Amino acid sequence: MIEKLNLISEGKAKSLYETSEASELLMVYRDDTSAFDGKKKEALKGKGEINNKFNAFIMEHLSNNGVETHFLKLVEKNESLVKRLDMLPVECVVRNIATGSLCRRLGVEEGIKFEDPLFEFFLKDDDLGDPLINDNHITAFGWGTEEEIATMKEITFRINHLLCELFKEVGLILVDYKVEYGRSNGSLILGDEFTPDGCRIWDAETGESLDKDRFRKDLGDVVESYQIVAHKLGISL
């Protein structure tokens, strides 16, 4: 049994606790849901459990295909054991189709499919609205090195290839997503989570949103849509 000790951080939908092993943390997925930098909030029953199992499935798939992650194992229905990382304060975003904030920021038409995926860096800072940054910002402010920037891009594009293929096989489109990285024993590895909270997933046949956009846009059936995606991927809930 994993012993849950001190709470060390609490985000919008997850909490991290220390364990008896200094190098391992307990990641607890809550039912809390938020959008627009926390301005819109609601608890959606069952979402934490779905996200926990969804993330475990994705992390194991990536690990089996050569992407090192912090995920160790599922512990409880809404808890996972992960490696302790020194997280970089940046988010890596890949966009395969133009939608969301990109369209608002650049005034481009929604639905444009990119021949090559679009990559962006954002600073993790809710108070600032997670601003868009570039490579020079990261090195100038010491958020990461040039080598780490190159590694983040390389791994993130590899993740995109692996997951686009995985989703395509079950009739889903991976529209865009964000990932985060942390340092562990001199290496940079994938941390945080990969769930419908942090990506956009469309039904390939209908174009229906099956992700947190349903919460952002008041479309309803948020948890049910997450369940649909999990079912298509063969995730046991």
The superfamily CATH assigns to domain 86-221 is: ATP-grasp fold, B domain (3.30.470.20)
Instruction: Classify domain 7-83 by CATH architecture.
Output: 2-Layer Sandwich (3.30)
Model-level pTM greater than 0.85?
yes
Model confidence pLDDT, tens digit, residues 85-141: 999 999 999 999 999 999 999 999 999 999 999 999 999 998 999 999 999 999 999
- Every domain of the chain and the residues it spans: 7-83, 86-221
pLDDT bucket at 38, cuts 50 / 70 / 90:
low
Q: How far apart are CA 78 and CA 80, in angstroms?
A: 7
**According to the model, what pLDDT value does residue 36 have?**
76
Q: Taking Cα atoms as reference points, which of 180, 177, 150 lies closest to residue 166?
A: 177
CA distance 182 to 31: 25
pLDDT for residue 68 = 98
Find out whether 151 and 63 touch, Cβ atoms under 8 Å.
Answer: no
Tell me whether strands 32-35 and 24-29 are parallel, antiparallel or unpaired: unpaired
Residue 41: the pLDDT is: 87
Q: Which pLDDT does position 112 carry in this prediction? A: 96
Phi, psi angles (nearest 5°) of residue 205: -85, -45
Q: Residue 198: which of 10, 13, 46, 8 has the closest Cα? A: 13
Q: Residue 28: count other Cβ atoms within 10 Å of its Cβ.
A: 20
